[in-house]
Amino acid sequence: MKTALEKLFGFDSAKHSVRTEIMAGITSFLTMTYILAVNPSIFSALPDMPGGSVFTATVLASIVGTLVMALYAKKPFGLAPGMGLNAFFVFTVCLGMGYSWLFALTGVFIEGVIFVILTITKVRSWLLNAVPGTIKKAIGAGIGLFIAFIGMQDAASS
């Protein structure tokens, strides 16, 4: 007979221990908490963006994303808003190009709808498999360098 953990998460007591999984969860949570400070800090560069709302949205998005990953996909991954996209949103789209954050959020919403459609139709998988692995790694490195660049600019101006 399957236990509740086996039914809900696919937990196999022969391969895993509850203690190890709880420690891993706490470690993942503590590792992700930085985003609760950094995300509102990034958006504070926008003069009329409500900081408390950014914090609340960050918390809710992280909770919902992680729960969907745990309960639906049955994968042990914590999900939270991406810092690279947030930095791009604030510093390039809003401050660099001059669009309001409300207009930019409309673009994010439309992008989300398109992403869901691409996922449902399996086009997203086809596109991901068409990109060579080295380019995938380079994109991650580029986003990391972009965030580091913004951080260094902010540190230099302080």
**pLDDT per residue as tens digits for the range 23-49:** 888 888 888 888 888 888 889 899 888
How much of the chain is helix, strand and coil, in % rounded to 5? 75, 0, 25
Query: What would the pLDDT profile of 43-79 be if each residue is shown by its tens digit?
Result: 989 988 888 899 999 999 999 998 888 888 877 788 8
Query: What would the pLDDT profile of 4-14 be if each residue is shown by its tens digit?
Result: 777 766 677 77
Q: Do residues 66 and 113 share a domain?
A: no
Q: Do residues 76 and 128 share a domain?
A: no
Q: Do residues 67 and 133 share a domain?
A: no
- Domain limits for position 26: 1-81
Q: Do residues 108 and 52 share a domain?
A: no
Beta-carbon count within 10 A of 43 CB: 22
pTM value?
0.67
